[in-house]
Every structure is written in C-alpha cells, then in structure tokens.
Amino acid sequence: MSKTATARHQGLWHDFYEMTKPKVVMLMLITAWVGMALAPSESFPLAGVVLGTLGIAALAASGAAFNHLLDRKIDQRMARTHRRPVATGRVSMQQGVVFAGSLTVLGFIVLYLWVNTLTAWLTLASMVGYAVIYTGFLKRATPQNIVIGGLAGAMPPLLGWTSVTGEIGALPLLLVLIIFAWTPPHFWALAIHRIKDYQNAEIPMMPVTHGIAYTKMHVWLYSWLLLAISLLPFATLNMGPVYAVCALALGLRYLQWNWWLLMDRKANAAWGSFRFSITYLLLLFVALLLDHSVRALF
C-alpha cells in the first residue's frame, strides 16, 4: 500500500471510531459494569462480564454510528457537529451502513449465542430505541424527545445485570430510573448552551420551542426529582450509608449548579451544569460500587 493509501485507511478507521461516540459509550459501559458487579452470582461470571461488555459496547456503538448516518444533514448545520465524518462526507453512507450494520450483527450474535437471549433482545431494543425511535422520529418531532428517548441510554445497568443473571431485577430497574431522570437535565443544559445550533438546524429542543427560562426551570425541577430517585436504593435497603452520603452530596452539588443556572449566578452555568452532570453520574455509580464493596467486606 502506498503512503497516501495507508494514511487514508488509518483516517477511515479513526472516523469509524469517532462515529461510535466513544466517551458516551464508555460511561454507559461503566454503568453496565456496576449492574454486573451488583448482580447476585455464585462465582465470578467471566463469560457474562467479558462477552456482555463486548456485546453491549458493539450495539451501543452501532446505535451511535447509525445516529451519525441518519443525522448527517442536521449535523452539517450545527457548529458542534459539522466536522463529523459522515456530515463532511469523509465516510460515505455505504461505508457507514456497512460499519454500523456489522457492529449490530456482531453485538447481537455475541449476546444471543454466548450471553443470553434476554440480554440480546433488550440491548437490541435499546439500540433501536436510540437509533430509530429517538434519532429517526422523536428528535425531529417534540421537545420531549430526550425524555422518552432517554430510556434507551438508561438501560445499560439492567443490561449488565441480565448479562450475569439472565433475569430482570428490582435494583437494576432503580438504576435505570436514575439515569432516566438524569438524562433530561444532562441534555437540556447543553441545549441551552448550544441553542443557536438547534435553532439553525430547526430541531424542536426545549430551549428553542419554549425558551431558555422555561428550560432552566425544568433542569432545576428534574435535578430535585433526580436527588429523590437517587436515594431510593438506600430507602429500599439495597444500598447502605456510604452510598446515601455520596448520593446526597453529589445531588446537592448538582442542585447548586442548576440553581446558579436558574438564577444566572455564574457565567457559563449551562456548560458547567452539563459537564458536572457527567461527573455526577460517573461518581454516583462509583459510589454504588464502593458501598457494595464495603458491605461485602464487613
């Protein structure tokens, strides 16, 4: 292969990687691992963990790649996304479909054959929920798009749990509920920060359809809801005081960010709230793991 052909080849794989939204998928996998770690199991469930991770990662990545394909026209009109591989034409539709389709098939087969059929169907449904229902329909139709579509992205703790147990449980459903309540304030803060993008692309996100003040109030109210829901694993005795203290501290800090946002107390509060939402979710799931480990030791 000539030097230019090699560089083109490497560039294509780099673009494919970008299409998988690696940082988002990484955080989803962390929530799935926590689901696996909390699941009851007699010995270390190596196959469920390794192959479950591979299958969930492949299907989540394929959803992200289909999102790049379906949204290429929208992405071209937004400053944040106009350099994306499909939007710029660096990756053709045909190449993108082969890549995303291969990931779908790989992820589904791994889960179906070597993990369990429940996890395979639930993960495929999550992928379709995000790539087809949210991206293809809801995103263009209603400012409640991410409230409904958020369920797909919230599923990984349950997918992790079912990879190991083959059954649905009450605790992973609570964890899904936490991410479900977290998603709207996570996204709306970014949508406030990037309102011009959504106006340009004519996407009916809440700040565009109902204004910034109304959206800030929603972010504020959802962060209260999130605080209450995040304490449910403690209230139901699934988690102990280590988790409760962490959930309370993180929830109060998130409320503080969203108070600053609501009251215009800080420059760039929308961006600050969005960034903190990611730290919040990561640390909340670390706290679940910590609490579980402490209680296993004592």
User: Residues in the site for ligand FPP, rule: CB under 6 A?
Assistant: 21, 24-25, 28, 59-60, 63-64, 67, 71, 81, 123, 126-127, 130, 135, 139, 152-153, 155-156
Q: Min. distance of Cβ 219 from ligand FPP in angstroms? A: 16
The CA–CA distances, whole Å, from 168 to 27, 59, 103, 151, 171 equal 21, 19, 25, 16, 9
16 vs 187 by CB, closer to ligand HEM: 187
* C-beta of residue 156 within 8 angstroms of C-beta of residue 119: no
Q: Min. distance of Cβ 67 from ligand FPP in angstroms? A: 5
52 vs 153 by CB, closer to ligand HEM: 153
Count other Cβ atoms within 10 Å, centred on residue 37: 18
Q: Min. distance of Cβ 298 from ligand HEM in angstroms? A: 30
Q: In one letter, which amino acid is 246? A: C
Phi, psi of 139 (to 5 degrees): -55, -35
Which parts of this chain interact with ligand HEM (CB under 6 A)?
A: 23-24, 27-28, 31, 80, 134, 146, 149-150, 153-154, 179, 183, 186-187, 190, 278, 281
* C-beta of residue 119 within 8 angstroms of C-beta of residue 52: yes
The first and second tokens of residue 65, run together, are 């790649």
- Residue 51 binds which entry of ligand FPP, ligand HEM, none, CB below 5-8 Å type-dependent: none
Residue 255 belongs to what H/E stretch?
helix 241-263
123 vs 230 by CB, closer to ligand FPP: 123
Measured distance CA(162)–CA(158) in Å, rounded: 6
- Residue 278 binds which entry of ligand FPP, ligand HEM, none, CB below 5-8 Å type-dependent: ligand HEM
135 vs 238 by CB, closer to ligand FPP: 135
- Residue 106 binds which entry of ligand FPP, ligand HEM, none, CB below 5-8 Å type-dependent: none
The first and second tokens of residue 239, run together, are 């988690």
